Homo-oligomer: A and B are copies of this chain.
């Protein structure tokens, strides 16, 4: 096997100290060397655990989705929490898979919706942020003030950045408005034509090149942080718009639960690298300018979806 690109697995075998010593640094080595205090927990109350039917070989297929924190897409994530509580997705299916596009599941054609879901206006695709400090960099996202880190590299679609571990687009002046962006693994809300915004009962995950044209046109509500391969490897649909022409090919969803409602021993536990940390800044710089024993020509830039926010299982 040619190396082709340094293997994360090989780097994982190096101690963090050894990785930090190696010169020149790689993005993976920076992540490996990040101190524990730069990692932040992902609340189990923000994690959806979706169990698909086992595959043909009998292997379980679990997909873990992290919901966006408020105020991003708050109306839709509130609906989603309500649908999970009602066990509404149990017995629905993944019924549409389009190569280099999306895998899609649920929806009110499979099952009537429970009463009480919020109708969210299109205006909610974008979130107004409170004016910040002199540099305009503070951002009220949660009860804590979260720092927006601007990605200084050009982007074809918008000024971009990161806040609270999420890649975002930034409007007007940086930090006045923000919206979650469609990267690989992003989970969004299927909808009919504008002004419909979708209820959140029908979701899709991006399984190809970032379809950034969807930003601000459709709600992003989260991202797959484990098990995306269970969606990305599904056979592509051959019916209209990639729907499985034969309903028997639909992939049953056994259950969708909040991780916090699972028995503690079964609860997945993750953390993300603080996007306002020094290590993340170093990582971002190296993603834009790789120069090491493998890379000879630094790109001089990186798009916001090509610097995935590092996420890992929480140490026991």
A contact set with B: CB distance below 8 Å: 1-5, 7-10, 56, 95-96, 99-102, 104, 107, 109, 122, 125, 153-158, 183-185, 190-194, 196, 198, 202, 204, 208-218, 228-229, 232-236, 240-243, 287-288, 290, 293-297, 299-303, 305-306
Listed by A's residue number, 12 A-B pairs whose Cβ atoms lie within 8 Å are A1-B241, A7-B240, A7-B242, A100-B232, A153-B156, A155-B301, A193-B293, A194-B293, A209-B305, A217-B297, A232-B233, A303-B303
Contact B100 A228 (CB under 8 A): yes
Contact A107 B1 (CB under 8 A): yes
Query: What's the least CB distance linking A211 to chain B, in Å?
Result: 7
Which residue of B99, B157, B215 is within 8 Å of A228 (Cβ)? B99
Which residue of B1, B213, B232, B287 is within 8 Å of A290 (Cβ)? B213
Tallying the copies of this chain within the complex gives 2
Contact B4 A102 (CB under 8 A): yes
Q: Which of A109, A185, A202, A213 lies at the interface centre, i.e. has the most chain B CB atoms within 10 A of its CB?
A: A213
* CA gap between A307 and B4 in the complex, in Å: 26
By a CB distance below 8 angstroms, the chain B residues around A214 are: 5
Query: What's the least CB distance linking A310 to chain B, in Å?
Result: 14
Contact A1 B95 (CB under 8 A): yes
Query: What's the least CB distance linking A191 to chain B, in Å?
Result: 5
By a CB distance below 8 angstroms, the chain B residues around A158 are: 299-301
Contact B9 A213 (CB under 8 A): no
By a CB distance below 8 angstroms, the chain B residues around A190 are: 1-4
* CA gap between A184 and B233 in the complex, in Å: 15
Query: What's the least CB distance linking A200 to chain B, in Å?
Result: 11
Would you call the interface of chain A mostly helix, strand, loop, or mixed? loop
* CA gap between A78 and B141 in the complex, in Å: 55
Query: What's the least CB distance linking A171 to chain B, in Å?
Result: 10
Known: A191-B2, A295-B213. A241 touches B109 (CB 8 A): no
Known: A100-B228, A210-B306. A217 touches B156 (CB 8 A): no
Contact A185 B100 (CB under 8 A): yes
Contact B218 A4 (CB under 8 A): yes
Known: A155-B154, A185-B100, A287-B213. A4 touches B306 (CB 8 A): no
* CA gap between A303 and B213 in the complex, in Å: 10
By a CB distance below 8 angstroms, the chain B residues around A10 are: 240-241
Query: What's the least CB distance linking A152 to chain B, in Å?
Result: 10
By a CB distance below 8 angstroms, the chain B residues around A300 are: 157-158
* CA gap between A240 and B4 in the complex, in Å: 13
* CA gap between A195 and B153 in the complex, in Å: 28
* CA gap between A234 and B99 in the complex, in Å: 13
Q: Which of A191, A196, A299 lies at the interface centre, i.e. has the most chain B CB atoms within 10 A of its CB?
A: A299
Closest 7 A-B residue pairs measured CB to CB?
A7-B241, A156-B301, A2-B190, A4-B190, A216-B297, A184-B209, A9-B240
Contact B209 A156 (CB under 8 A): no
Contact A296 B122 (CB under 8 A): yes
By a CB distance below 8 angstroms, the chain B residues around A100 are: 184-185, 228, 232
